[in-house]
Structure 1
Amino acid sequence: MTMITDVQTATGTSPYVEKKADVLGRDDFVTMFLAQLKNQDPLNPMDNKDMSAQLAQFSSLEQLFNVNTNLSALTDIQNQNTELLSLGYIGKEIVAEGDKLWLMEGKSCRGSFTLANQAECEMVITDQKGKLVRSVDMKTLSAGEHSFSWNGKNDAQQTMPPGAYKFTIVAQNAKGELEKVSTRTIGQVTKVQFNDNKPFLYVGNIPFMLEQVISIKAPAADTES
């Protein structure tokens, strides 16, 4: 390991859906069918075939209603299960796709990145306003995964305030071409928040979707700067 001495809230949609006037529900069908029976001409009653056809339609409607009800119940169970599993992330250390670092007072923060080819690398750390905080010449690194720890100090060796920072890896191969670099954040989950029934894991105030999480494990021992 190399030692280095904005939350968008999704807007939910309303759960209430206006019922279209031209769509009949199960209760509407039953009401209409009973009204037909009540108001039919005793001298010219409803044909048995017509009645059977309407009952068959009702049976199909009832089955569809039950299927939709069961699917809705399964969806609710799945959402509840996702919520319970997500809450289990609190306090755990995750590795997630991203380029952010969460710096806590008196502690170092960590990240990692992957190179497709050997390259000369420089790491640049900036604050939330994009202002340069620290630049580090990482020399020549081989292809593969590399991790680092930043002690929170700037180029003047002054301790930076706690908060979110961004790191960028500038990698140049032997041909002088810039290499694509995959970056990851390493940090402890401090809370879970649900937006539109989707869980977001927070490292400090940095949110991550479950799809971004690569691995999870028990937290490592605190690293002092």
Structure 2
Amino acid sequence: MGTGAVSNSLSSLIGKSTEAYTAKASLNEDGSINTATSTVTGDRTTDLFKNAEKEMGKDQFLQLLVTQLRYQDPLNPMENTEFVSQLAQFRSLESSSNIETAIGKLGDTFKGTVDAQRQSAESISNSSAISMIGKVVRLEQKELSWVAKAGSTTDLNIHLGNAAQATVRIVNSDGETVKTLMASQKDEENSQIITWDGLTDFGEYAQSGKYTIEIDEAKNNSEIYAFAQDMITGVRFTGDGTVVKISGKELPLSNVLDVSGGSSASELMLSPQTAISMIGKTIRVRSDAIRFTGADNESVPISVNTGGRAQVSVQIVDKLGNTVYTTTAKAGADGVADFGWNGGRNGGGYVDPGEYFIRIAGQGQDPSLYSFAEGTVSGVMNLGGETRLRVGSISVSIKDIVDISDTVRSYDQGDYV
């Protein structure tokens, strides 16, 4: 009985994926299969063949190799070279599988790290956004929401930069221009407010909805843009990022062009924790008011930041704005002019006890020129809901602080002419 006939006949029984794959065959004398006495069990949709459409892994490869060895013809065993070749293939497959697994784990680890960094960045971004509430900001405005009501209008702020004019187009969701406006009368800040009354270029009222603001000249000039400028009244966190609430609009935080303190009472607030940490620090505070008591040998200390000048002209004025004393103060190596005033008047005599004020020539045009007082923070107080610092007998607001240090600056009176 030849084995080839059996193998070929079994192959004919399991030729299709839905046919039986387990067979018990009886052979005729000529080596053919006796179909009357042969039986088959199972089908190729289960067990070994249920994952036939998937890629072969190292376990399946090893199973096939062991099965091949188990059922090899003992009179004609597998050649050594063939066996070694298949072992090498198994080793290669195993290595590839291990590398794939390692890469998969590395990918999971990298993804976890990226997710953690993203969450950390979002947390920092959210905290920064909250701290901007109460600040005046300028944001680039790329869209506007229009509500069609009789008599309604909407203002657009257009920054022209160094351009003489700009063509502003209001574009609908279909990319069609519904209104064309011109900006050509810029103010001292190179900006202009233009008003849209909702009418299209055809004299019809535009439908309610969102429109895009497009400026033709902005394509080649980054100084030209539409913007909204006002105080941030709130923030909202969305799936598309953080948006800030300004002038009744919600605009992306990423559109912020400029941030300033604003003019509200809450523009600069000092947290109690920060205030406590400043106890023992030396602070420099803008101060243009001084008090003369008229005591014997009195000398009121005055310090002026000269803004890099070698000397500055300083006036002492009364509450009515009358100049009572004028001097020229020389700056020290630290750029500060220190001198003392004994209450003397120009032309002789002394002023009456009371409050007086320091005026520096040119300080209206140069913010680096200012008079100041220094002292060590000794405590914290709360006045009207605002946390303030106690320096000596006075309370100081955070907005008046111009410098903070750990040491007290040496003071040398009399350096004036």
**TM-score class normalised by the smaller sequence:** 0.3 to 0.5
User: TM-score, normalising length from structure 1?
Assistant: 0.44
The higher radius of gyration belongs to 2
User: TM-score, normalising length from structure 2?
Assistant: 0.26
